[in-house]
Amino acid sequence: MTEPQSALLLRKQLAELNKNPVEGFSAGLIDDNDIYKWEVLIIGPPDTLYEGGFFKAHLYFPREYPLRPPKMKFITEIWHPNIDKSGDVCISILHEPGDDKWGYEKASERWLPVHTVETILISVISMLADPNDESPANVDAAVSTFLTDIYLYIL
C-alpha cells in the first residue's frame, strides 16, 4: 500500500529539519510509527518573559495536510494570550483556510498550503514574543499582559 501524499510531505519536512536544524526549536515524532503526531520543544525567545524556558508542544496533522492546518497544543503549562488554558494555540496561520466568517482575519493571514512545520514554529515563537491581545484565547493572560505593558510604560 502506498503512503498518502501528506505522509510523504511530512517525512520530507522531518528529514529537512533533522538535516538543517532551526534555532529556537527541535521537532520529532511522538511515535515513530505515526507521521501525523509530532512533538516539539520550543526554547523561550530572548528578551521575553519566556526567555530561558523550554516548552513542549504537540502538533497533530490531518490526513489532508497541507490543504488543512495542523492543531498545536502546548503540553508544558504556559501563560499566554494566544494559548488557551488547555494549551491549544490560537494563531491565524493555524486557522482553516479561506475567509474569516467574523471578518477579523484576512484569508492571506490564515492557513495556506505553503506553510511547513518550520514556518509554523517560527510563527509560534514570534507569537510568544509578540502576542495578539486583540483576539485572545486566554482573556486573563491578555489582561495581565496589558497591565504589565502599562506598568513597564510608566516606569
Residues marked as catalytic: 90
CA distance 147 to 142: 9
**15 with 40: CB under 8 angstroms?**
no
Length of the chain as a residue count: 155
Three-state SS at 92: helix
CA distance 31 to 131: 31
Sheet holding 54-60, edge to edge: 25-29, 37-43, 54-60, 71-74
Provide the grid cell at 145.
Answer: 499582559
